[in-house]
Amino acid sequence: MPALGSAHLRLARPTRDLVAAGRFWRDGLGLRELHRHASQAGEHSLLMLGWPDAAWHLELTHDPSGALPPTPTPDDLLVVYVGGPVPEDLVARLEGCGGTRVAAHNPYWDAWGVTVEDPDGYRLVLSTRDWNNATALAAR
């Protein structure tokens, strides 16, 4: 099957606490709740978040047995290209919703943005670059 540039992308991540992770991504970053499935009799719970017009969404999953805890590394990133200065009120809101501002593992992201860990330790980078600028530089 050929790769399709218009294909929708789902990024799924386990979480220890669906409420805390949902608060960070929904209330902190501003993603919208697209779908929720509550656990019944040992089933996995999930929360899908995204922007309705985006070709991607984030799915947070919770295994009630605890058998699959989150295992993020400092280089597991979700990068949002802001295309300008990162609003300090956005960073403060992310911190108020359970995030922690951290130094990036790769200094490139400190030069071009702000890195915030979610409650499970996964990292969100708010990049001051825009996607077109970033891809043009990478092509050089």
Where residue 39 sits, what CATH number does that domain have? 3.10.180.10
134-to-9, 50, 108, 138 alpha-carbon distances in Å: 20, 22, 12, 6
Cα separation, 54 vs 93, whole angstroms? 22
* Per-residue confidence (pLDDT) for residue 65, from 0 to 100: 83
pTM of the model: 0.89
pLDDT tens-place string over residues 104-121: 999 999 999 999 999 999
The region of weakest confidence among 67-76, 89-98, 117-126 is 67-76
Print the domain residue range for 127: 9-66+74-138
60: in domain: yes
Say whether pLDDT at 140 is over 70: no
Structural domain tally of the chain? 1
Residue 2 within a domain: no
Give me the pLDDT at residue 6, please.
Answer: 78
1 belongs to a structural domain: no
Q: What is the pLDDT of residue 101?
A: 98
Q: What is the dihedral of CA 87, 14, 108, 106, to 10 degrees?
A: 140
Residue 55 lies in a domain: yes
pLDDT in tens, 31-69: 999 999 887 666 789 999 999 899 999 999 998 888 888
Inside any domain, residue 56 = yes
